[in-house]
Amino acid sequence: MEISNAKLAKILRNTAAAYTIKGTGNLFQIRAYENAADNIEHSTAEIQDFWQEGKLNQVSGLGESLRGYLDELFSKGEVRHFEEVKKGIPKIFFDLLDIPGVGPKTADKIAKMGVSSVEQLKKQLKDGELVKMGLSDKLAQKILQGLQEVSQRGNRMLLPYAFAQAEKILNYLQKCPDVLQVHPLGSLRRMVATIGDLDFSASSNSPKKVTEHFCRMPGIARIIDQGENQATVVLKNGLQADLLVGKTDAYGALLQHFTGSKSHNIKLRILANGKGYSLSEFGVKKVSRGQVTGYSQKTETEEEFYRLLGMDAPPPEIREDTGEIEAALEHKLPDLVELYDIKGDLHLHSNFPIKSPSHAPGVDSMEDMVKKAKELGYRWVGISDHPLGFTTSTPKEMIKWVQMRTKFIQNMQSRTKSIRVLNGLEIDILGNGTLSVPDEALATLDYCIAGIHSGHRGSKDEITKRLLSALNSPHVDIISHPTNRLLNERDSSDALWDEVFKLAAKNKKLLEINSHPMRLDLRDDLVRMAKKYGVKFIINTDAHMVSQMDNMLFGVSVARRGWAESKDIVNTWDWTDFAKWFNIKS
DNA sequence: GCCGTTTTCGGCCCGACTGTTTTCAGTCG
């Protein structure tokens, strides 16, 4: 039996929730289950593969007991101990846990009111029946809102996960001697934040051999469909993968057609009709009054395909029919930012002790993060720890800690010649719009990142007020992950973005494009909108460990989808211009 | 149940927000 990471995480969470409401098991044991679930959920590799290779001990958060349980789960499909813990709890309890805002206690309360399905819950909430039975009005509203969010949430995977799986398949395809070129297709090629299926194309003069090669790929659970030019398979991890193989003379048309987007292609076909062409995945035909008058033109590449229509080829990331076709016709496509333009990363969390080592959110040392930055070829790097646990401290304590940390960084810089190390913090924009760190401490930093980390479901006005307030602080340089969305988990916060962008541009504050797989925030559409106001951006990884510093590519993709060029992204600039923007003395 | 430059015991993040429980519980990150 195949068990996906998501399913595995859910099994562990369910067990933890069962412990919680039964009152058996201590709090830390429950937390251990949840911690393991978190790690599994965020792994880009399949945990079941680790198990098969006897490498479960490489997964952090899995100790002897949990490894034993997982072993039982993967080999027998069930864990006796887990079933024991969940005994006597109705199924609805576990379904309710999937609703945002509903935890074990609330789910238990609702289950005990006799609700037996999510559908019934929806109905009884709307009828006010549950409120009559003692559920508070506000809670009822909150659950309804949560249900709404769930229904709008698709079952799509995050781009970086899809990207990692796709790379393996692309590498495998390239090994086939009959393959000339391979590409990802669809939303994957356009680098959309979430991906449905994995689609690929290949060019070859012997298509049948390529589809046969594809269907022999390791990790296939079953073949749904295998034709001469096309094959669809389901992988053991539950993903569906499609392959289309085309001959070289029309490969550009095939690639273009299946890259989409749908709206881009529709617009293109209308345009082509006006010019006497008919477009399809098989090529370009000459038509007159609906009659085909000419045979297919050669379209070996996408460039040739677009050239036949008198236009440049837009980069895949912006093929969404939002003006790229017009720009391509006028030969005025943007010169989009590239990964290799990036010269530094300013949003990194280290394990630098905050009050005590266990408070630090990051897992790796500043030294290791700086080392990685050098390997990436960066010219500068900034450490921006969260001063957690200081809210209840005196400003004096906080200032002392900042001074201590500053000395530590200065000391490190004095031993490091080849890269500039900058001293920053990521602080909270509190509910009332004030900052979580006193100005006196902020004034000593090279830069300050401010972000909303609580109360994301506030009203449009509240969120806007908080953002505007931070943008008016003389010490804030960057607003981190401005919409605070978590893909597949939490929607973007609402704000009057025009107001936010106007003020950001006026006060010369940067908006972050956060590369974290679950964030990809600022969203691409808002990047485009902000750019029109003259806002500048910084692409950061928000890495909490060294390996996450490789996520920069995904932030760059968001920027590209938002039509950003290197002049819009300050961390592509030369050090002189960059330092000038931040008012840092070189 | 996990984990280890406080390593085989004894710790384990904690602050913000929400709702309603005037002092705290549940949820989230």
As a whole number of angstroms, the distance between CA A466 and CA A432 comes to 7
Give residue A230's pLDDT.
Answer: 87
Q: Which of A121, A6, A45, A3 is CA-nearest to residue A488? A: A6
Whether the beta carbon of A138 falls within 7 A of nucleic chain B: the reply is yes
* DSSP classification of residue A301: S
A261 prior amide bond cis, ω within 30: yes
Closest residue (CA) to C1' of nucleotide B13 is A359
Whether the beta carbon of A367 falls within 7 A of nucleic chain B: the reply is no
Distance of alpha carbon A264 from its chain centroid, rounded? 24
Distance A422 CA to B14 C1' (A): 27
What do you get for the CA distance between the two ends of chain A, in Å? 59
C-beta of residue A81 within 8 angstroms of C-beta of residue A13? no
- What is the fold, at CATH topology level, of the domain defined by A5-152? DNA polymerase; domain 1 (1.10.150)
Whether the beta carbon of A58 falls within 7 A of nucleic chain B: the reply is no
Helix (H), strand (E) at residue A266: helix A262-274
- Long-range contact list for A277-286, CB < 8 A, 24+ apart? A277/A308, A277/A309, A279/A253, A280/A253, A281/A246, A281/A250, A281/A253, A281/A254, A281/A256, A281/A257, A282/A250, A282/A253, A282/A254, A283/A249, A283/A250, A283/A253, A284/A253, A284/A308
Whether the beta carbon of A36 falls within 7 A of nucleic chain B: the reply is yes
A 313-342 residues, CB < 7 A, strand B: none
pTM (2 d.p.) = 0.78
Tallying the residues shown for chain A, one arrives at: 586
- Tokens representing A33? 């289950």
Q: Write out chain A's pLDDT in tens, 586 residues.
A: 778 888 999 999 999 999 999 887 788 899 899 888 888 876 766 788 889 888 888 788 899 999 999 999 999 999 999 999 999 999 999 999 988 889 999 999 989 888 888 888 888 888 888 888 888 888 888 888 888 877 766 567 888 888 988 999 999 999 999 999 999 998 899 998 888 788 999 999 888 899 999 999 998 887 878 888 888 888 877 778 889 998 888 899 899 988 988 778 877 887 887 788 888 888 888 776 555 666 667 788 999 889 888 899 999 999 987 888 889 999 999 999 999 999 999 999 998 876 554 555 677 889 999 999 999 999 999 999 888 655 556 777 788 888 889 999 999 999 888 999 999 999 999 888 988 888 988 999 999 999 998 888 788 889 999 999 999 999 999 999 999 988 877 778 888 899 999 999 999 999 999 999 889 999 998 999 999 999 999 999 999 889 899 999 999 999 999 999 999 999 999 999 999 999 988 6
Q: For residue A457, which nucleotide's C1' is closest to its Cα?
A: B17
C-beta of residue A498 within 8 angstroms of C-beta of residue A505? no
Q: Which of A273, A457, A422 is CA-nearest to residue A347? A: A422
Whether the beta carbon of A438 falls within 7 A of nucleic chain B: the reply is no
Sign of CA dihedral A51, A54, A59, A61: positive
Q: Looking at strand B, which nucleotides approach a protein CB closer than 7 A?
A: 1-3, 6, 11-21, 25-29
- The residue ranges of every structural domain in chain A are 5-152, 157-246, 252-329, 341-582
Instruction: Name residue A261's amino acid.
Output: S
As a whole number of angstroms, the distance between CA A48 and CA A539 comes to 33
Which CATH class for the A341-582 domain? alpha beta
Q: Residue-wise over A111-148: b if at least 16 C-beta within 10 A, else e? A: beeebeebeebbebbeeebbbeeebeeebbebbeebbe
Whether the beta carbon of A459 falls within 7 A of nucleic chain B: the reply is no
Distance A82 CA to B7 C1' (A): 30
- Tokens representing A325? 């076709």
Sheet containing A283-288: which strands, arranged edge to edge? A277-280, A283-288, A291-297
Q: For residue A106, which nucleotide's C1' is closest to its Cα?
A: B26
Whether the beta carbon of A173 falls within 7 A of nucleic chain B: the reply is no
Instruction: Write a three-state SS string for A393-434.
Output: CCHHHHHHHHHHHHHHHHHHHHCCCCCEEEEEEEEEECCCCC
Whether the beta carbon of A136 falls within 7 A of nucleic chain B: the reply is yes
Which CATH class for the A157-246 domain? alpha beta
- What is the fold, at CATH topology level, of the domain defined by A252-329? Beta Polymerase; domain 3 (3.30.210)
Whether the beta carbon of A23 falls within 7 A of nucleic chain B: the reply is no
As a whole number of angstroms, the distance between CA A168 and CA A68 comes to 29
Alpha helices in A114-225 (DSSP H): 118-127, 129-132, 137-152, 159-174, 186-189, 207-215
Give residue A136's pLDDT.
Answer: 85
Distance A50 CA to B7 C1' (A): 26
